[in-house]
Amino acid sequence: MNGNYKWRKLFFLNDRGLKLAGLLHTGPVPGAIVIVCHGFTGSKEGGGKAIAMAEELGGRGYSTLLFDFSGCGESKGSFADISLTGHVNDVKCSVSCCHNLGFKTIIIVGRSFGGTAVLCHGGTDKRVAGVSCWSAPAEPFRLFSERLKDNDNPVSENGLVQLSGQGGTVLVKRDFFADLKNHNVTRCASSISPRPLLVVHGEEDDTVPPANAEKIYYAAGQPKSIRIIPGADHQFSGHYHQVWQAFFHWLAAHFPV
């Protein structure tokens, strides 16, 4: 690890005035920065793996911003208010935060639902130099609706909908589903070109099937890359180093430092 890279905590506001919590790992001079966006019910630390990846990136000369989406982790807001539109807005505000800190090369990477958010934002924000999505749903409305159909008791006493996430059962508003219909993920992916896109997915992902990665990849323009990790599940259990290496190789090819 590069000894000149240090961690510091920071906070920034999203467009709704909610304070978002972040961890910035950077050196003395702003260069290229990777913004890491966690998955559904996740947090910025990623169980420690996001911290470790940021330190690996520091050793390669890249700064990193980890942040919690609103309603998650240490950020303000209620998880019940979660929406893809809200996530996309939070990604935009994280890009603004890094831009205001002096970073000129900004790469956004997201896992699972966070991956869908970076795809939806990446095509519209020319400050974003490159996009990478890991285990990202290409059709989130269909995916979450299927989860809802499998739920024997989908509505709680307070009118919220029950969903199963990595952290257990969570409650969201019914508006969550209506909002998903407003986003065409593959169309957004097609707007990222001519900036590079890297799609990574686990071959044995039974939460978000690998066909999602193929839809995103084939919708996108060049330059684009896809990596299907053999034997890997949705969390890349036991395979995350392969994901990192694919990501590091892509970074070095397109954003050398």
Nearest 5°: the CA angle 3, 114, 55 is 10
- The pLDDT score that the predictor gives to residue 24 is 98
- The pLDDT score that the predictor gives to residue 146 is 80
- The pLDDT score that the predictor gives to residue 217 is 98
What does the pLDDT average to over 40-62? 95
Q: Where are the domains of the chain?
A: 6-139+184-254
- The pLDDT score that the predictor gives to residue 168 is 66
- The pLDDT score that the predictor gives to residue 203 is 97
Length of the chain: 257
Span 124-143, pLDDT tens digits: 999 999 999 999 999 999 99
CA atoms of 62 and 56, how far apart (whole Å) = 9
Architecture of the domain made up of 6-139+184-254? 3-Layer(aba) Sandwich (3.40)
What does the pLDDT average to over 20-25? 98
Task: Check pLDDT > 60 for residue 47.
Answer: yes
Q: What's the number of CA atoms in the CB half-sphere (13 Å) around residue 248?
A: 15
Site of tokens 């000369």 = 61
Span 207-244, pLDDT tens digits: 999 999 999 999 999 999 999 999 999 999 999 999 99
- The confidence band for 10, taking pLDDT boundaries of 50, 70 and 90, is very high
Close Cβ partners of 173 (under 8 Å, ≥ 6 residues apart): 80, 81, 159, 160, 161
Torsion of CA 78, 82, 87, 90, to 10 degrees: -20
Close Cβ partners of 165 (under 8 Å, ≥ 6 residues apart): 40, 41
> Residue 92 phi/psi, 5° resolution?
-55, -45
Span 168-193, pLDDT tens digits: 678 899 899 999 999 999 999 999 99
Site of tokens 């589903």 = 177
Task: Check pLDDT > 50 for residue 202.
Answer: yes
- The pLDDT score that the predictor gives to residue 153 is 45
Span 108-120, pLDDT tens digits: 999 999 999 999 9
Close Cβ partners of 48 (under 8 Å, ≥ 6 residues apart): none
Edge to edge, what strands does the sheet with 128-134 contain?
6-13, 19-26, 63-67, 32-37, 105-111, 128-134, 197-202, 224-229
- The confidence band for 1, taking pLDDT boundaries of 50, 70 and 90, is very low
